[in-house]
Structure formats: structure tokens, C-alpha cells
Chains A and B, each alone.
Chain A
Amino acid sequence: MKEHTQKITLNSYLDLAQLLKRYQGTHEENRSFGLKHQEDSVSRLQKWKEKYLYKITDSLDSTSYLHYLTTFTYMVSFLFLLFGLITGFTLLSYSGKEPVNVIYLLLVMVGLPLLSILLTVLSMYTGNVGAKFFNHFSPLYYLEKIINFFYFSKKVDLSHFSLSSKLTKWIFLDRLQLFSFLFALGLLISLLLTVISKDIAFGWSSTLEIDSLVLQQTLAYLATPWQTFLPTAVPTVELVELSHYYRLGEKLESSMIQNADKLGAWWKFLAMAMLVYAIILRLLLWAWVHFAYKRLLKKEFLRIAGVEKLLWEFETPFVSTQAQTAETHLDVASSKSSAQSDLALAYNAILGWNYSEEDLHLIVDRFGVNAKVVKNVGGKNSFGEDQAVIAEVEKAILVYVKAWEPPTMDFVDFLEELLGKEEVIKVDICPLGTSTNGYESQARDLQVWFNKLEKVDSAKLGVIDV
């Protein structure tokens, strides 16, 4: 199971990319997942993907993309095999008048695959500049053209599938090796079938003045990989000389006809050349491409948009500072009451709430309001002392309060007791600002006092803003 989850496939790549577009989880969830799964990055990502894949409610990109890719692979594989067979049979069609030209066969059966291998290697390891230059020589370019003929070409929108162009290139390079392998296999099968069913005379001919010995040495080089264990598949000088023919001769040379049985020996060389250069070399390249593709897939898997953040969240402790309980808050309606702006010239008593005696006298002097009784209440006074003041005062009373200090219930209790006294006919509350500001209160502070005093429902109560 562990092996299975760690394996990165195109399927898992597409699923994760699609999932991350839809859902990335919260840091808290991802950290919790990371703590539970202390494994390597790839395994964690695979498990995370499996856990949340249900979040993708519509069809999976991987299902459609892989369906099209598989269909494309099967169809093109079949076509390439067929094309290989047809090409092989066409090249080997022997009329009996003229031998089959070995050089021509070698160019198609060995030269073409080798050129294709070279271009593949160039596609693999050239950057964008190289890719642009070789684009029109690359089999990939023609593969694109072939795809355009398929019924699903419009449905395969690569930008939709979150595949980088690099990865796309390698997906098709990988498949291209299969197609090339099948083409070469088709050629080899056609050669073997033709050899079994027909007696073919091979020969060679060239406009260039090629010496038989030079050609034999060149072919011997080509045959190096198998000459030790299959020497009969290496053309001899005698065979090369015997096989040389000239197109302008009306008939085949008499020596060729006399040695017709020997000319057929070419097929072993051709078969081995194809097996080694077109098939084995292709398989090796395929393995190389496949390995590089898998490595790139892993690299790209870790580069999917959102993966870096996800891995970071797996590793990074989640710090939360918020409250877990909902806030219970009291909404206080804003009072529409307004203050009187003038103080009466005289009151029966002036009280200073939370003021010191010294401060209260300064205020009385500042505003010039007279009263028989001037007392400070609240503050450090005991309840007994406040009770005594309430007992002493009557009729009109002015209470100075600190505007910036919001009225507490302690003040409201005192006020209610004062207002409850029958002898008290009027209580004016005068919120003052700080002495440094000339006792001028701020509108914001006054509003707070209005809001609170409005709840003390009494006709005796008034607010004065000096």
C-alpha cells in the first residue's frame, strides 16, 4: 500500500492539480494532517489527495485526459506498426529484374531510426532556443499535426489540464518511443516474412564511386555489436563485391546470377542491423526517456500550484489566537437627548463625583455658581459618607462629573438614591473635560453620558454642557 501511494503517475498528478485548484484546506487542517503523517513529501501529498479527492464533484481531469491519451496511443501505435509493415513490404518488393538495394534499405531501416533517435535526444536536452530551431524537424511537431485529425482534438485543451509544456513534451516523447519502436518492429517483421516467403536477391548500387572494400569496412563497423557471436551476419568483402550492380546494365551481371544463393545472405545483416539500431537502441532510449519522464513528473508534481504552500503548512506549527466562544455584546442605542448649555446661577448644593475636595473648589471658582453646600462624593468616600451627603442636600442640585470617565453603576446607584429623595426637585449633571482643556467636554464623551442617563427615567434629571 505504501509503495502504491508513493508512486507518482500522470493520474495522481492531474488529480492533485485539479484538487488544489478547487480546495487547499486551512493551515489548521493541513498541519493536523502533517502531524499525523510524518512521511516524505510525495507520500504526504498522495495521502492528502486521497483524503480530499471527494471534494471534486464534477468529472476528474485525469479520467478524460488519460482516456484521450490512451485512445490516441492505441490508434497511433496501430498506425505506426501498419506503416512499418507497409514500408517494409514496399521496400522489399522484388521483381526479379533488379536486386533490392541494400543501401536504400539501410537508409530507411537504420538511418531513419537513428536520425529520429538523434532528434529525440536533441528535443530532450535542448532549451527553448533549441526547441524552437528543431521544432519543425522534431517528430513531436508532426505528432501534434496528427492529433489534430482525431475526433477529440478540440476536447484536449492543455491549459485546462494544468500540464506544463515541459511535461507535455515528455509525455509525448515517451509515447513517441513506443510508436518508433512499433514502426521498426513492423519493418523487421516485414523483412522476416519476406525472407521466409520469397527468395530475394540483395544488391547495392550507388552513383558515387564507392569502393567495395570501403563499404564492407563500413558495414563491418556497423556489425561490430554482433560480429563475435553471429559472424555470418557480417557481410564479407566477397559478398559486397558480388552484390554490386549498375542500374544501366540491362540485365543482372552474370556473376550475380551465378552466385544468387550467396546474395540472400544480406538479410541476416539487415535483420541484425534493424534489431540492434532500430529496436534495441530504441528500447534503450525509451527506457531512458521513461526514466527522465518519471523524474520530471516527480519534479513537476512538487511544483503544482499550491503544493509548496501545502507542504509548508504540513511542517509549520499552526498558531491560533482567537476566542472559541461567540461574543455576547450589548448593543446600546444612541440617545437623541440634548444638553442645556447654561448653568443656573445658584443651586442648593454642588456635588463633585469622583473629584477631590481641592479639584471641586477649583471648578466652583471657575464657573462661579453658588451653593450653600459643596461636597465631593464617590471617589474615596465610603458609602456612609455619601449617604450623609444625600441626607443633607435638597431642592436643586448640580453634580459635576468627569466627562471622560463613563458613568458606572456605582454612580447610577447614587443618582437614583438622590433622585428618589422627595426634597430633591432637580438634579443637573454637568460632565466636564480636563482642566488643561478648560473643562470643555468632548461630544463623544457627552454622548456616553446621555446614553447612560437616559436609562435613569426621571423628570428631575437634566444634563448641562458648559
Chain B
Amino acid sequence: MSSYPRFAVVGHPNKGKSSIVSSLSLDGSIQISNTPGTTQVKRGFPLKIDGEIVYELFDTPGFQRARRVYAWLEAHGRDVSADKRVEVVRQFVFEHKEDKQFRDEVELLEPILEGAGIIYVVDASKPYGAEYEVEMEILRWCGQPSMAILNLIGEEDYREEWTRALGQYFRMVRTYNPMTAGHEEHVQLLESMAQLKEAWTKPIKKAIVALEKLQEQKIESTVITLSDYMLEVLSLVHTQNIYGEEVSEEEEEEAKRKYREKIVAYEMDERHAVEKIWRHSDIQKQENALVLDEVGLFSEESVSIFGLSQKELILTGASAGAITGAGIDLLTAGHSLFLGSIVGGIVGGVGAMFGFDNLYEVKVLGQSLGKRELSVGPMQNLNFPYVLLGRGLYHASVIAKRSHAKRDALSLDSESFTGKIIDAEMRKELEKIHGKLRKAEELEKEEIEAYKKVIRGAFLRLLEAK
């Protein structure tokens, strides 16, 4: 028998057992189907800390022939005292191990007979039915600590009548909706599970601490990913060779296009990284084409949703003068080996405040041996960093709050974006860094830390927002 707590999530078919396990194990890969009986064998989901199992959840098939099982138990254990009933159940499992008729019941009873606590799942959005009592009786015969979970699959609410009935069979009855449950609800449920048996309290508490840390880790990793992405994109300089003495219009347009493509690729990479952090790698996305898709990054719609207003831009202290300071050695602050002198002039100009026609500086760089390069970037548009950050934060918050039990496509539209998550103080901090990046200045570690702090603050605000 295992030394760590185990919990078997059992119940009638199609009542959300797999959804609950998926949500509790933070595993979005579990198949969840509307068709009953698709879970055919039990499957363990251990929570491990550095390889050591702290507790294990079992997803099990639903009861299929509960009345027959109960009839067998009654026939063989009618005169057995309550303390010996579990042996009758054990005998049933032993005798029917190879019996296809009772395959589901054997699968679901096995972990319980090995000491797993019982988590009985019902759909409390549908009326209570007496047919459940047979299942509950069988579980009672197992004699293991047990609790019931009221899952609200539909819109109606029959929790009161369910609670009255379940209260007669289970020590605890809790509501848990795996589709909407977040980290807090997850922890609350674990705390309830810890109360089922004294010996389980300590390991479950340990698991709660680990999960709290895991949540913090995910937040921190997201902040680092977002911050690295922002710094990388905002300091991005695309260079390519040119063939004549002066840059042609086609060459300039091609360079600008490639520069934009690189930024879009960075955004995709950032999103994948965030989805991986929150273990939502298999997610299907269905984004609002105007707002969050690749084209939208440079659209005016994006600016209107994620960017700052003209007033806010002025209040950040960013002025056009601050972004025209590109001079000799702009790229590497005076120590640019091999890229020392600029022979061409500035072709592009200061980006427009709201439009995206001139986002970046375009320069012709010369080298001593005659090779010429066209350089695009870093991004000069004052509003672009906020658009980039807003989109990143919004996507990350949607991913972070998404339950692992959900199987529908991810919808990323602007409607639920809370908008004003970056206050004046935050903007001031951000602008300090953005200004430096526009001038291609190298950032000190402390400055990067301050930048992360602002991003962390904004991300936490979004996570807390309902």
C-alpha cells in the first residue's frame, strides 16, 4: 500500500470526472467526451515534487452495472458486519477481475481498495435521482474516507437537493466547477481533501504549498518571457545588404516588411512560450482577426485597444525630441566594432504617434571596405511598446486563467480586456526603458528588473480581474 494519499474520482458516467481530474492535475491533454463510457481504464495522475509523489489522483470509468454489483455484494455480505464489508468488495473485485461485464466497476474499485480516498462526482445542474443511491451504497461498503463534489455542468442548480442526499453518505460535500475553477478554488478543494483523513493532512498541505509555488513560478516565468520579448522586439534592428550607392524604394519596403515579419514571429514565439508555461500547449486558438492576429499587431485597431491615448502619451513624458537622438555609434554606444561610421542619412523618420506609417528608423550603414547595409529599427513609434505589451499581457492573462478542463477553442477578442491596467506611475517607469530602447542604449540589470516589476504588476492586476 502506498504511503502517500490517493484519491479515486468516481461516479456515474458523464458527470465530469475527467474534467475534474484534468483541472486538478493541470493537464489539458486528458480526453474529455460527451459520450459516456469513453474512459475505460483508471489512470493515475501523481503530483510529484522533485520526483517524489505527494498525492495521486485517479481518473476512473463511471459505474455501468451498479445494481448488479450491489446485488452481488448483498448476496455475499448480507450477514457480514460493517467492518468486514470491504472484504466482500475485495472478493467481488478478485472474482470479477477478468469479467468483461464488470470491467468498469473493477477499474474504479481497485484504487479504492488499495487505500484511495473517494471523490464522488455528480452533476448538480440536473435533478437528484434515487438510482445514485446504489452507487453510493457500494462506495460506503468500501469504508474509505470520502467526499462528494457537486459539478455544475448545465445552467440549472439542484445543489440543495443533492446536498441533502449526499450528506447522508459522504463526510463532505463541496461545489467545484472544473470549467471555471481557478487556482484559489483548486487550493480550497485540496484543503477539503486534506481533512478526509488525519494522515493525509500533512502531504496535502505540502502539495498546496508546492502548487502555490508553482503558480508563483508560472507568473514569474510569464513576466520574464514577456519582459524578454518586449526588450528583444523593441531593440530589434534588421539589417540587409543593398547594392547601389543609395537605397531604392523597393529595398526599403522589403527591409521594413522583413522587420515587421520578425516582430510578428517574435510575438508568436512569445505566445507559444506562455502557453507552454501554463501547460496549454495544445490549445486551439480562434482569435479576433482584427485585434489579435498577426496582421492586427500593426493595425490601428490594435492601437485603439491596447495603445495609449494622446493625452496619456503626453503624460508619460515621451516627446518627439527624445526619439531623434540617433547619432554616430547609435547602435552600440560608441564601441561598435566594425559598424562605426554611418555614411548614409536617415531615410525614415520619427514614427507617427498613432499611425504606423513610419514606425522605425531606416538607415544606410557603410563599412570601410565599401559594403553597404540598410538598417531598420529600433522601433521609434511611441505607442507601439504599449500595443505590444497590451497584447502580450492580454493573451497571457487569458491563458493563465483558462481551466485545463476546457476543450473549446480559445477565443481572444478584445471585449474582456480590462484596458486600463497600466496606470500613470507604471507608464512613467515603462517609458524610461522604452526611451532607452529607442535610442538603442544598453540597459542596466536594475533597469530590467524595474521593467519586470511593472509588467508583473500589470499582469497580476489582469489575473485578479474577473
Interface residues of A in 129-154 (CB under 8 A from B): 131-132, 135, 140-141, 144-145, 147-148, 153-154
Residues of A within 8 A of B334 (CB): 128, 131-132, 135
Asked if B156 and A35 sit within 8 Å, CB to CB, the answer is no
Asked if A318 and B33 sit within 8 Å, CB to CB, the answer is no
B45 contacts which of A153, A321, A383 (Cβ < 8 Å)?
Answer: A321
Residues of B within 8 A of A172 (CB): 337
For the complex, is A215 an interface residue (Cβ under 8 Å from B)? no
For the complex, is B71 an interface residue (Cβ under 8 Å from A)? yes
Name the residue of chain B whose CB is nearest to the CB of A436.
Answer: B156
Residues of B within 8 A of A460 (CB): none
Q: Mark A291-313, 1 if CB is under 8 A from B, else 0.
A: 00000000000010100110010
For the complex, is A228 an interface residue (Cβ under 8 Å from B)? no
Q: In the complex the two chains form, what is the Cα distance from A406 to B40 in whole Å?
A: 15
Q: In the complex the two chains form, what is the Cα distance from A322 to B327 in whole Å?
A: 54
Of B211-219, B247-255, B417-425, the one touching chain A: B211-219
For the complex, is A332 an interface residue (Cβ under 8 Å from B)? yes
Asked if B35 and A158 sit within 8 Å, CB to CB, the answer is no
Asked if A329 and B38 sit within 8 Å, CB to CB, the answer is yes
Asked if B64 and A319 sit within 8 Å, CB to CB, the answer is no
For the complex, is A169 an interface residue (Cβ under 8 Å from B)? yes
Q: In the complex the two chains form, what is the Cα distance from A376 to B31 in whole Å?
A: 35
A407 contacts which of B36, B44, B445 (Cβ < 8 Å)?
Answer: B36
> With contacts A323-B45, A405-B129 known, is A448 near B35, CB below 8 A?
yes
For the complex, is A324 an interface residue (Cβ under 8 Å from B)? yes
Residues of A within 8 A of B409 (CB): none
Interface-central residue, B36, B68, B101, B368, by most chain A CB under 10 Å: B36
Interface residues of A in 435-462 (CB under 8 A from B): 435-436, 444, 447-448, 451-452
Residues of B within 8 A of A404 (CB): 123, 126, 154
Residues of A within 8 A of B154 (CB): 404
A329 contacts which of B31, B211, B332, B333 (Cβ < 8 Å)?
Answer: B31
Q: Mark B31-67, 1 if CB is under 8 A from A, else 0.
A: 1011111111101111111110000000000111111
Name the residue of chain A whose CB is nearest to the CB of B336.
Answer: A165
| Chain B min CB distance to A352 (Å) | 11
> With contacts A321-B26, A410-B66 known, is A165 near B47, CB below 8 A?
no
Q: In the complex the two chains form, what is the Cα distance from A409 to B228 in whole Å?
A: 55
> With contacts A165-B442, A383-B71 known, is A356 near B130, CB below 8 A?
yes
Q: Mark A365-397, 1 if CB is under 8 A from B, else 0.
A: 000000000000011101100000000000000
Asked if B25 and A322 sit within 8 Å, CB to CB, the answer is yes
Name the residue of chain B whose CB is nearest to the CB of A133.
Answer: B334
For the complex, is A402 an interface residue (Cβ under 8 Å from B)? yes
Q: Mark A340-351, 1 if CB is under 8 A from B, else 0.
A: 000000000000
Residues of A within 8 A of B335 (CB): 131, 135, 140, 165-166, 168-169
Residues of B within 8 A of A319 (CB): 47-49, 210-211, 213-214
Residues of B within 8 A of A154 (CB): 369
Name the residue of chain A whose CB is nearest to the CB of B54.
Answer: A319
For the complex, is A250 an interface residue (Cβ under 8 Å from B)? no
Q: Mark A37-56, 1 if CB is under 8 A from B, else 0.
A: 00000000000000000000
For the complex, is A354 an interface residue (Cβ under 8 Å from B)? yes
Q: In the complex the two chains form, what is the Cα distance from A320 to B211 in whole Å?
A: 10
Residues of A within 8 A of B31 (CB): 327, 329
A409 contacts which of B12, B33, B64, B327 (Cβ < 8 Å)?
Answer: B64
Asked if B14 and A448 sit within 8 Å, CB to CB, the answer is yes
Name the residue of chain A whose CB is nearest to the CB of B368.
Answer: A148
For the complex, is B131 an interface residue (Cβ under 8 Å from A)? yes
For the complex, is B224 an interface residue (Cβ under 8 Å from A)? yes
Asked if B35 and A135 sit within 8 Å, CB to CB, the answer is no
For the complex, is A210 an interface residue (Cβ under 8 Å from B)? no
Residues of B within 8 A of A330 (CB): 37-38, 40
| Chain B min CB distance to A233 (Å) | 40
| Chain B min CB distance to A318 (Å) | 6
Q: In the complex the two chains form, what is the Cα distance from A309 to B40 in whole Å?
A: 40
Asked if A325 and B213 sit within 8 Å, CB to CB, the answer is no
Q: In the complex the two chains form, what is the Cα distance from A232 to B411 in whole Å?
A: 90
B442 contacts which of A166, A312, A382, A434 (Cβ < 8 Å)?
Answer: A166
Residues of B within 8 A of A318 (CB): 48-51
For the complex, is B13 an interface residue (Cβ under 8 Å from A)? yes
For the complex, is B27 an interface residue (Cβ under 8 Å from A)? yes
Residues of B within 8 A of A327 (CB): 29-31, 43
Asked if B213 and A317 sit within 8 Å, CB to CB, the answer is yes
Given contact pairs A331-B38, A408-B12, a sample of 19 additional A-B residue pairs in the complex whose CB atoms are under 8 Å apart: A32-B50, A32-B51, A132-B334, A154-B369, A156-B338, A165-B335, A166-B442, A316-B213, A316-B217, A317-B213, A320-B48, A324-B46, A327-B43, A329-B38, A382-B71, A404-B154, A406-B36, A410-B66, A452-B36
| The 6 nearest A-B residue pairs measured at CB | A406-B36, A409-B64, A131-B334, A165-B332, A332-B35, A321-B25
Please list the residues of chain A having a beta carbon within 8 angstroms of any beta carbon in chain B.
31-32, 35, 128, 131-132, 135, 140-141, 144-145, 147-148, 153-154, 156-158, 164-166, 168-169, 172, 303, 305, 308-309, 312, 316-325, 327-332, 354, 356, 378-380, 382-383, 402, 404-410, 413, 434-436, 444, 447-448, 451-452
Offer 19 A-B interface pairs, CB within 8 angstroms, sorted by A: A32-B50, A128-B441, A131-B333, A132-B333, A132-B334, A144-B340, A158-B337, A165-B442, A303-B445, A309-B224, A318-B51, A327-B43, A328-B40, A380-B134, A405-B12, A405-B129, A406-B36, A408-B65, A434-B156
